[in-house]
C-alpha cells in the first residue's frame, strides 16, 4: 500500500474515532472543514487515551484497542441520536438558514481543500522509518514496535508520541509504524484553516494559509520526520481552536475538550508545563474584561486544563520519571527552584504534590474572584486600551529580553521560514497589536501572544546559536512545536488584511483611478509573494527527493529473515572500527544491530555498552567464541563488509547465507547559506550461519 493511501487511511481512522463526539458539539462558523478538523483532533485524543488505558491495564493489543475505540464511537453516536430525538420531541430542533451563496462558497472551499489535502499527501508520501537508535526519533520508533509486539513500554521518553506510533503499528503492521506521521501534517493544514474560519477570517485567507502549510519545506519536513513535535504542534493548534470555539459559542463542551488537549500535550512533551501559567494569565485577563458568561466558559477551560496537566504531570513523574525530571524539568526550572521543589517532594506522586495542586487551583480561583471584584470595574469600559497595554507590555518585554539573550539560533531558524511566511506573520501580528479585538477577540489574542512569546524565549535560551546537525532541521523542531502553529494564525490574519484591502479597493467610491491603483498594488503584492515563495517550493522539492534513511526497515527485515534461515539463533554483529565514508554516527551497530534486538526481538551479542563506542570487528572464529561465552552453541554473524572486500567463502562451521545491500540517504543540517545535498551511503552486510 502506498504512503498516500496509508496516510489517508490513518486520517479516516482518526476522523472516525472522533466524529461521534464532534457531532455532539455546537456547530460553528468554521463549517465542514472545522468539523473534519474537530473529528481528527478528538480522534487523536481518543486514540491516545485508549492506548494509555489499554497499556496501563495490561491489555495493550490490536483487539483491545479496537474494542475500546468502537465503544467510544458507538457511545458518542448513540448520544448524538438521543439528543436529536429529545430536541425533536420537545420541538426545539432548528434548521439554520444560510445566507445567499453561502452554501456555494462552502462547497467551493471544501473542493479546494480536498485538492490541497491531495497535494499535501503526495508531498508527504515518504516518511522516514527512523529505526536507527542514533537519536530520540529512533527510540520512539523502536519503543513503539516493542509496545505493539509485547504490550510493554519502556520508561524513557514521554509516552504520548510512542503510543501514537504504536497505534499505527497495530493498525498497519510493523512495516508501517511511521505511516500516520504524514497524517499529522494534514492535521496542521486543516487546523490552520479551521482556526482562520473560526475567528471570521475571509475564506480566501483560510485557504491561502492552508496552501502555504501544504507546500512549505518546514511543515513538509516535520510531516516526514518522526519527532514528538509533529504530534504536539497539531495538539497545540487544536487546543487554541477549541478555546476560540468555546468563547464564541459559550460552549462548555469545547472548553472541556480544549483543557483535555492541553493535558495530553504534557504526555507528549514536557514543554507543555509552560502552558499552566499561560492559561492562568488568560483567565485573569478574561476575568478583568469579559462578561460573566464568557468568564465562566474561560474558567471551565482553565480548571480542566490545570487538572489535566496535573494528572499528566503525575503520570510523567511515575512512568518516564528519569527523563521527565532529570532532563526536561531540570532544563526548564531554575536551579534553586528545582532544589526547593525536590525537597518538598513535588517531583514525586505524593501527598505534598496533591496539596500543592489543590492549593494552586484554589489560589487561581480566588485570584479570579478578586480580579472580577476589584480590577474589572476599572478596566471593563476600556477593553481596547486594556488589551493594547497588555499586548504591548508582553511583546515589548519579549523583544527587550531577546536583545540581551543569545538569539543567533532563533534568527537562523526563523529565516528558514522564508520571506513570505515571516512578512505575513509580522503583518498579522501588527494587525492584532494595533486593532485588538478586530481579528481575534482580546483573550484569544492574549493566549496566542503568550504562547508565541513564551516559547520564543524558551527557544532562544535553548538554541543560542546556529548549529549544524546530522539531521536536517533538527533544532528547528523546538520552534515548530509551538511558535510555528501560532505564527500560522498571525500569517492567516496577514493574508486576510490583503484580501480585505483588495475588497475595499473594489468597493471604494472615490476616483476610479485611485481604486484601480490600490487594486493593482495589492495584486502586485500577491504576485511578489508568489514569486518570493518559489525558493521554498524548490527546497520542498529538494528535501522530498529521498526518504531520510530510505528503505532502512526493509534492509533490517531482510537481515532478520536471513538470520532465521537455520533457526532463530543469536546474532553477532561485526563492523570495521571506522564507519563507512559519509556515515554520520560514531558507529553502525546502533543503526543495524540494536534495532534487530529491539524491533525484531532478536538476541544480539557482542555489542559495546557505550553508545558512542566504535564498532567491533569479528571473524567467524571470534564470533563463534562470543556466542559460546553468551551461552549459545550456534547462531549467525552479520558482518558489514569493508569497502573493496568480498564475502568470505563457506568453511567448516561457517556457511555463507547471502548479502543484504542497502543505500542510506542522509540529509544534514548546515550553517552555510547553501544547504547540504543528500548523501547516499552504501552498505553491504554479509550473513553467515555459525555452528
Q: Are 228 and 219 in contact (CB under 8 A)?
A: no
What are the grid coordinates assigned to 356, written together? 500543592
Kindly report, residue by residue over 388-409, the tens digit of the pLDDT: 999 999 999 999 999 999 989 9
* Phi–psi pair at 277, nearest 5 degrees: -65, -30
As a whole number of angstroms, the distance between CA 482 and CA 33 comes to: 22
- Cα–Cα nearest to 449, from 425, 421, 414, 475: 425
Q: Which residue has the cell 527587550?
A: 400
Q: Is 567 exposed, middle or buried (0-12, 13-18, 19+ CB in 10 A)?
A: exposed
How many whole angstroms from its chain centre is CA 628?
46
User: What secondary structure, in 3-state letters, does 604-618 show?
Assistant: EECCCCCCCCCCCCC
Q: How far is CA 477 from CA 223, 348, 413, 538, 625, in A?
A: 11, 29, 9, 21, 45
Phi-psi domain of 651 (left: phi exceeds 0; alpha: psi -120 through 50; beta: other): beta
Residues forming a β-bridge with 684: 661
> Comparing 299-303, 325-329, 449-453, which segment has the lowest mean pLDDT?
325-329
Print burial letters for 436-468: b (CB count within 10 Å at least 16), e (below 16): bbebbbbbbbbbbbbbbbbbbbbbbbbbeebee
What are the grid coordinates assigned to 341, written together? 521543589
Mean pLDDT, rounded, of the chain: 92
* pLDDT of 94: 47
> What order do you get walking across the sheet with 654-666 strand by strand?
604-605, 570-574, 635-640, 679-690, 654-666
- Of the pLDDT bands very low, low, confident and very high (cuts 50, 70, 90), residue 223 is very high
Kindly report, residue by residue over 166-220, the tens digit of the pLDDT: 999 999 999 999 999 999 999 999 999 999 999 999 999 999 999 999 999 999 9
As a whole number of angstroms, the distance between CA 418 and CA 584 comes to: 28
DSSP state letter for 333: S
Q: Is 666 exposed, middle or buried (0-12, 13-18, 19+ CB in 10 A)?
A: buried
Kindly report, residue by residue over 651-682, the tens digit of the pLDDT: 888 999 999 999 999 999 888 767 889 999 99
What are the grid coordinates assigned to 527, written together? 504576485
Kindly report, residue by residue over 228-246, the tens digit of the pLDDT: 999 999 999 999 999 999 9
The contacts of residue 467 (CB under 8 Å, 6+ apart) are: 409, 475, 671
As a whole number of angstroms, the distance between CA 253 and CA 22 comes to: 10
- Of the pLDDT bands very low, low, confident and very high (cuts 50, 70, 90), residue 645 is confident
* pLDDT of 510: 60
Q: Are 661 and 687 in contact (CB under 8 A)?
A: no
* pLDDT of 107: 86
- Cα–Cα nearest to 75, from 26, 13, 19: 19
Query: Is the CA virtual torsion 381, 384, 385, 386 positive or negative?
Result: positive
As a whole number of angstroms, the distance between CA 268 and CA 35 comes to: 24
Long-range interactions of 518-524: CB distance < 8 A, separation 24+: 522/498
* Phi–psi pair at 686, nearest 5 degrees: -95, 135
- Of the pLDDT bands very low, low, confident and very high (cuts 50, 70, 90), residue 101 is low
As a whole number of angstroms, the distance between CA 196 and CA 171 comes to: 32
CA end-to-end distance (rounded Å), the chain: 39
Q: From the CB of residue 359, how many other CB atoms can be counted at a distance below 10 Å?
A: 10
- Of the pLDDT bands very low, low, confident and very high (cuts 50, 70, 90), residue 527 is confident
Q: Rounded to the nearest 5 degrees, what angle is found at the Cα of 471, between the Cα atoms of 469 and 477?
A: 90
User: What secondary structure, in 3-state letters, does 198-261 show?
Assistant: HCCCCHHHHHHHHHHHHHCHHHHHCCCCCCHHHHHHHHHHHHHHHHHHHHHHCCHHHHHHHHHH
* pLDDT of 194: 96
* Phi–psi pair at 126, nearest 5 degrees: -125, 65
The contacts of residue 667 (CB under 8 Å, 6+ apart) are: 471, 472, 543, 546, 548, 676, 678, 679
Decide if pLDDT at 500 tops 50.
yes
> Comparing 24-38, 420-434, 615-629, which segment has the lowest mean pLDDT?
24-38
> Comparing 19-28, 268-277, 366-375, which segment has the lowest mean pLDDT?
19-28
Q: Are 42 and 257 in contact (CB under 8 A)?
A: yes
* pLDDT of 95: 43
Phi-psi domain of 582 (left: phi exceeds 0; alpha: psi -120 through 50; beta: other): left
* pLDDT of 332: 83
Q: Which residue has the cell 481552536?
A: 241
As a whole number of angstroms, the distance between CA 655 and CA 684 comes to: 17
Secondary structure element (H or E) that encloses residue 191, with its range: helix 181-198
> Comparing 56-70, 151-165, 262-276, 545-559, which segment has the lowest mean pLDDT?
151-165
Q: Which residue has the cell 481604486?
A: 515
Amino acid at each position: 500500500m502506498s504512503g498516500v493511501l496509508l496516510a489517508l487511511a490513518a486520517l479516516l481512522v482518526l476522523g472516525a474515532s472522533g466524529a461521534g463526539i464532534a457531532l455532539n458539539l455546537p456547530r460553528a462558523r468554521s463549517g465542514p472543514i472545522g468539523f473534519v478538523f474537530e473529528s481528527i483532533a478528538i480522534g487523536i485524543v481518543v486514540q491516545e487515551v485508549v492506548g494509555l488505558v489499554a497499556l496501563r491495564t495490561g491489555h495493550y493489543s490490536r483487539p483491545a484497542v479496537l474494542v475500546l475505540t468502537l465503544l467510544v464511537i458507538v457511545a458518542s453516536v448513540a448520544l448524538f441520536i438521543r439528543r436529536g430525538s429529545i430536541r425533536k420531541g420537545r420541538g426545539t430542533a432548528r434548521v439554520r438558514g444560510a445566507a445567499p451563496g453561502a452554501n456555494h462558497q462552502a462547497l467551493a472551499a471544501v473542493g479546494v481543500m480536498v485538492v490541497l489535502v491531495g497535494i499535501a499527501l503526495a508531498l508527504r508520501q515518504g516518511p522516514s522509518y527512523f529505526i536507527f537508535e542514533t537519536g530520540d526519533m529512533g527510540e520512539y520508533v523502536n519503543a513503539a514496535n516493542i509496545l505493539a509486539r509485547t504490550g510493554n513500554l519502556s520508561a524513557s521518553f514521554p509516552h504520548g508520541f510512542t503510543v501514537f506510533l504504536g497505534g499505527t503499528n497495530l493498525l498497519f503492521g510493523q512495516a508501517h509504524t511511521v505511516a500516520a506521521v504524514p497524517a499529522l501534517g494534514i492535521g496542521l493544514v486543516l487546523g490552520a484553516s479551521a482556526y482562520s474560519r473560526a475567528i471570521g477570517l475571509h475564506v480566501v485567507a483560510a485557504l491561502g494559509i492552508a496552501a502555504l502549510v501544504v507546500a512549505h519545506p518546514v511543515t513538509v519536513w516535520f510531516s516526514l520526520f518522526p519527532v514528538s513535535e509533529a504530534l504536539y504542534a497539531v495538539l497545540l493548534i487544536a487546543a487554541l481552536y477549541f478555546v476560540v470555539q468555546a468563547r464564541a459559542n459559550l460552549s462548555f463542551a469545547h472548553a472541556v475538550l480544549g483543557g483535555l488537549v492541553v493535558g495530553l500535550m504534557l504526555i507528549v512533551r514536557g514543554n507543555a508545563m509552560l502552558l499552566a501559567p499561560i492559561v492562568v494569565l488568560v483567565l485573569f485577563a478574561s476575568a478583568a474584561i469579559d462578561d460573566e458568561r464568557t468568564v465562566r466558559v474561560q474558567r471551565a477551560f482553565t480548571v480542566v486544563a490545570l487538572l489535566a496537566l496535573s494528572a499528566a504531570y503525575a503520570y510523567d513523574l511515575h512512568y518516564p520519571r528519569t527523563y521527565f525530571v532529570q532532563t526536561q524539568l531540570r532544563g526548564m526550572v531554575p536551579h534553586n527552584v528545582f532544589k526547593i521543589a525536590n525537597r518538598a517532594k513535588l517531583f514525586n506522586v505524593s501527598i505534598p504534590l496533591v496539596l500543592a495542586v489543590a492549593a494552586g487551583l484554589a489560589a487561581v480561583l480566588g485570584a479570579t474572584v478578586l480580579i472580577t471584584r476589584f480590577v474589572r470595574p476599572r478596566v471593563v469600559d476600556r477593553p481596547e486600551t486594556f488589551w493594547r497595554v497588555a499586548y504591548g507590555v508582553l511583546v515589548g518585554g519579549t523583544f527587550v529580553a531577546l536583545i540581551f539573550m543569545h538569539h543567533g539560533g532563533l534568527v537562523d531558524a526563523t529565516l528558514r521560514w522564508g520571506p513570505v511566511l515571516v512578512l505575513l506573520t509580522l503583518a498579522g501580528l501588527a494587525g492584532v497589536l494595533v486593532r485588538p479585538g478586530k481579528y481575534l477577540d482580546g483573550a484569544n489574542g492574549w493566549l496566542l501572544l503568550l504562547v508565541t512569546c513564551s516559547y520564543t524565549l524558551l527557544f532562544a535560551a535553548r538554541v543560542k546559536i546556529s548549529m549544524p546537525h546530522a539531521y536536517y532541521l533538527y533544532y528547528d523542531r523546538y520552534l515548530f512545536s509551538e511558535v510555528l502553529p501560532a505564527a500560522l494564525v498571525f500569517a492567516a490574519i496577514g493574508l486576510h488584511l490583503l484580501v480585505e484591502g483588495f475588497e475595499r479597493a473594489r468597493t471604494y467610491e472615490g476616483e476610479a483611478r485611485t481604486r484601480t491603483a490600490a487594486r493593482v498594488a495589492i495584486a502586485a503584492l500577491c504576485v511578489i509573494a508568489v514569486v518570493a515563495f518559489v525558493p521554498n517550493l524548490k527546497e520542498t522539492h529538494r528535501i522530498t527527493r529521498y526518504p531520510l534513511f530510505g528503505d532502512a526497515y526493509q534492509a533490517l527485515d531482510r537481515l532478520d529473515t536471513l538470520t532465521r534461515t537455520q533457526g532463530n539463533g543469536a546474532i553477532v554483529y561485526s563492523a570495521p572500527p571506522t564507519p563507512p565514508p559519509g556515515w554520520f554516527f560514531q558507529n553502525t551497530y546502533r543503526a543495524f544491530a540494536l534495532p534487530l534486538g529491539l524491533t525484531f526481538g532478536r538476541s544480539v551479542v557482542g555489542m559495546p555498552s557505550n553508545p558512542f563506542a566504535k564498532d567491533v570487528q569479528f571473524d567467524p572464529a571470534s564470533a563463534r567464541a562470543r556466542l559460546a561465552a553468551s551461552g549459545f552453541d550456534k547462531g549467525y554473524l552479520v558482518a558489514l563488509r569493508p569497502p573493496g572486500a568480498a564475502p568470505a567463502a563457506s568453511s567448516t562451521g561457517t556457511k555463507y547465507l547471502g548479502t543484504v545491500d542497502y543505500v542510506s540517504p542522509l540529509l544534514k543540517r548546515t550553517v552555510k547559506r547553501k544547504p547540504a545535498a543528500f548523501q547516499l551511503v552504501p552498505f553491504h552486510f554479509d550473513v553467515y550461519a555459525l555452528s
